[in-house]
Structures are given as C-alpha cells and as structure tokens.
Amino acid sequence: MNILKNHNTNLIDLGLIEYQKAWDYQTQLFNRILEIKKENRDKPAQDQQPTPNYLLFCEHPHVFTLGKSGDEKNLLINTQQLADVGATYYHINRGGDITYHGPGQIVVYPIFDLENFFTDIHQYMRLLEESVILTLKEYGVEAGRIKGLTGVWLGEGNRARKICALGVKTSRWVTMHGLAFNINNDLKYFDYIVPCGINDKAVTSLAKELGRQIDMSEVNTQLLKKLVALFSLQLRP
C-alpha cells in the first residue's frame, strides 16, 4: 500500500485514435503502474516511488468491443457486414458485455491507482457515473442510475434509455478502460448489437435529447471539471 497518496494525474488527450492503439497505450500505462507497485513492495517506506495516475480522453472510429464475460451473439452482424458499415470488432479484457464506440462519443480511460484515492471498486464506478450525471445536469438533462445496471440512464421503466456505458478492468487496485458518453454519435450503430447485453432498453445521446448538435469540447471541459472535483485530482498536462 502506498504510504503517501498521490492525486497528481496526467491529463492526455488522444484525439480520434484507433481502438487498438488506445488499448495498447492503456495497457502500457497500466503495466507500468503495476511494476512500480511490485518494486515498492521490496523497499522501505521512505524509498517507495509514488504511483502515477493518468486520465485519457479520446474518440474512436466505429468499433464494437465485447467484454471478457460477454456473449458474442450480442454482435448481430457478421464480418462482411462489419466491413460494410466501416466498423471493427475486438474481444477485450474489461468487464461487461458488448458496446459501441464511434466519432461524436466521448471516451474516458482513467488509469488510476485506487490506493492513491480509496480502495473501493463500487465507489469508483459510482463516481464515474456521477461525473456524467452532473455533466448532463449542466445541460438541463436529468439523469440517474437503474438498480442492478451500470452506466447512466435517462427516464424509467419502458422509457429508460442509456446515455453512458461503463466497463473497467482492475488489478491490484489499478484501473483501465472506463466510460463512453454518447454526445453526437450516430445511434444507428447500436442497432447492430444488443447494447451491454440488455435487449429491452434504448440508447440515446445528448444531441438526440436536446435536438441539436453539441459542442464536444464544451462537454469535455464540463466532464473533466466533474472528474477533478469528485476524485480531487491535481491535473498535470
């Protein structure tokens, strides 16, 4: 366990980046933090190296990703059809089922050592959700949670619709993967999957809810502010 908690966080904007490249970069950062933690175990407290934290913002070209416990049947199109719609597909190492990423969607990957903050995965997930809920509130959109389901939702019952999906991987309190927040993205791509393995709920975006295109940089700024406040981050560019 770290003696000195480190809230310093490296903020990195990856822009529009291929999924595999972003996944490889996440993995590199994730593994480096694990290496530092392993090295610290054999050192006295005064010689231990603080573990860094990273916060990655990006967008992806059209891609479907299936979590390690997901069902491949929830991808409703074949390899040729994937090519026809200009999308790729990856079976990855996060929790959760299948989801979609694409242009116009904000994707956030916190590569945190939770021992720098708190050792509670449930709290971590709820704070990620809260950052989106508070961001939506800035746009006059009321959002919340549905018991037993991850992510951020609008409406209830038959009118419930998902606006943000979450999926993470953790090892020794280090996190990777994160959240995908629908802003201006093309929602027709969700027709090609059973989103998150849930077949009786709709998917929406901020643009759809407000009936207009949204300034992505503005939403990024708002979301970042919420994450900084909720996790008490000290940002480093």
Catalytic residues, which ones? 196
In sequence order, the 6+-apart residues with CB closer than 8 A to the CB of 155 are: 161
Under DSSP, is residue 176 helix (H, G, I), strand (E, B) or coil?
Answer: strand
- Cβ burial 185-195 (10 Å sphere, 16+ → b, else e): bebebbebbbb
- Look up residue 183 and give its DSSP letter: S
Number of alpha carbons in the 13 Å side-chain half-sphere of residue 79:
0
User: Could you identify the residue written with the tokens 């959240």?
Assistant: 179
Q: Which residues contact 183 (CB under 8 A, 6 or more apart)?
A: 104, 105, 106, 205, 206, 207, 214, 216, 219
CA distance 7 to 231: 8
* 3-class DSSP state of 80: helix
E strands present in 124-199? 144-146, 149-154, 161-171, 174-182
Q: Give me the amino acid identity at 88.
A: T
Please answer whether residues 203 and 162 qualify as being in contact, where contact means their C-beta atoms are separated by less than 8 angstroms: yes
